[in-house]
Each structure stands twice: as C-alpha cells, then as structure tokens.
Structure 1
Amino acid sequence: MNLQINHHTIEQTHSLKLAGEVDAYTAPKLKEVLVPLTEKEGQEIIIDLSGIEYMDSTGLGIFVGALKSTKANNSSMKLRGMTERVRRIFEITGLTEVMDIENEVKGEAK
C-alpha cells in the first residue's frame, strides 16, 4: 500500500494528515516531508494518524528522530487520531511516555 500525506501550514503550525501504511517502503516519503519541518525553530507540528492502517519499526524510527529534532529546535510535535492497532505499537515501545499523543483512539467508544 501507499502513503498519502496532506500538509497544511498556517504561520508556524503544520498539520499533516497521513493515510495508508508507514513501513520500510513508505517511510522515506514521510521523512522527506516531516524532518525539514522539525529542523526549523519554533514550529508546531500536528500529525493526524487516523488514516494509518499499519506502521512498522521503520515508521516509529521516523517519529523518534522527528521528536529529537523538534526538541533540539524548540518546536513541538503532537500525534493524534491513532487507531487502536497503531497506538498499541507506541505503547509497547514506551513511546506513549515520551511523545505528545492525544488520548482519543479512533474506533473507541467515548
């Protein structure tokens, strides 16, 4: 499957909406869009993962690198709209403890 990335910017706030899969084949595309945003100072990056059906360790690595870069450049990154399946991967790896992740899980009863 492919990865689609919709990117909208308002001043220093970047909103990315991802759909598809983040794996070894599609991760370079995500990195190409995400990393330059994290290298600018004072940016706010909001990533909507509600359309992500699958993510592997390559995808997690992109987000870890982006987190380090945002912290080094006085910026912020927030992940939102995770499906239960994707959130589980972040929980198992302990990334829910270090990343700003919105609590609402797609498909969960409120």
Structure 2
Amino acid sequence: MAARRAARTAPPGGATVVEEDPGRLVRVCGRLDVHSVPEVRAALHAAVDRGSGRLVVSVDGIVVADATGLGVFVGAHRRAQRAGRELVLRDVPLPTLRLVRVTRLHRVLRVEDELARAAGPPRPGVTGLRQQAQNRRAEASSMPRRAS
C-alpha cells in the first residue's frame, strides 16, 4: 500500500542516474517504471563494465512503480557477477525495501542496511525480555491454557 502511494506521489518524469565515482558509486533518483528503466539499465551496465570490485548503487531517491524497476537491479547484479564484481544497493527507501523483501529479492540482491549497522550488535537478554512479556500476557488471559 505504501509503495503504491509513493508511486502515485512521485514527481513526474523518469529516473536520473549520476555516476559519482566512475565504476564504483552510482546514484539513482526518481521514478523507476517501464518508461525510465532503459536509461537506468544502460547507465548501470556501463558502470559495471567501466570498473572493478564493488559497485555501490545509492537509491535513496527512487520510487519503484512496477516490476521492471526491481528487474533493472537484478539484471545489473547478474551482469556484475559475470564481470566478477559485486553490486550493492545502499540507502534503500522503506517502501522499496519492503518490495525487495516481499519478492524475496533480498536473497539475490545485496542490500546494505544502514539501520542494522547503526544499531550495532544485538543486546544481550532481549529474548529473555520477550519471553517475560509473553508469560505476563498468558497469565492475564482468561482463556484456558492448551496442554503441550
């Protein structure tokens, strides 16, 4: 729902691609749909062919309007693999991140998670706190407990 709303409120026009560090860092902004994908695909393929090692694609300003928007990243990822490179998506907006996870593309595409890196390692005892909260809810319930 949020992705559809974001796609409707996206500014008209296509996506723009700026290669900030040739062959290493590319910034993609705007609306990714069937009309704008050919230019984005060509720019990503040129960036893959131009460099070596890791290619970071910053997508903080994108709105994915249809499946071709995600497909352009899958195609660039495959081209990077064939060239012995790694494609990494950075600064993925939440609606796009949800689409990537729902379509299970997070298993294929490498998504750099800024929130996970900022949060650091998991805190000890969190699972214990969750278990305590579940026990309190179970005690407060008027429903009989099931036999295990």
Which TM-score band applies after superposition, normalised by the shorter structure?
0.7 to 0.9
Residue matched to 2:25: 15
Pick from 103, 111, 117: which aligns with 1:93? 103
TM-score (norm 1): 0.82
Match in the other structure for 1:69: 79
Structure 2 unaligned segments of length 5 or more: list them: 1-11, 120-148
Query: How far 1:22 sits from its partner (Å)?
Result: 0.6
The aligned residue for residue 90 of structure 2 is 80
1:38 matched to 2:48: yes
- Of Structure 1 and Structure 2, the greater helix share is in 2
Q: Distance in 1 between matches of 2:67 and 2:47?
A: 21
- Paired amino acid for 2:19: H
Q: Quick one: distance in 1 between partners of 2:111 and 2:88?
A: 6
Give the number of aligned pairs: 105
Find the residue that maps to 1:78 and give its secondary structure. Answer: strand
How far did residue 99 of structure 1 move?
A: 1.4
**Max radius of gyration: which structure?**
2
Q: Distance in 1 between matches of 2:70 and 2:64?
A: 11
- For 1:6, the aligned partner's letter is V
Q: Structure 1 stretch 31-40 or stretch 91-100: which is displaced more?
A: 31-40
TM-score, normalised via structure 2 length: 0.63
Larger relative contact order (CA 8 Å, sep ≥ 6) = 1
More strand by share: 1
Q: Could you tell me how far 1:55 is from its partner in structure 2?
A: 3.8
The residue aligned with 2:35 is: 25
Structure 1: which 5+ runs fail to align?
A: none
2:60 counterpart of 1:56: no
Letter in 1 for 2:103: T
Q: RMSD value over aligned CA atoms?
A: 2.1
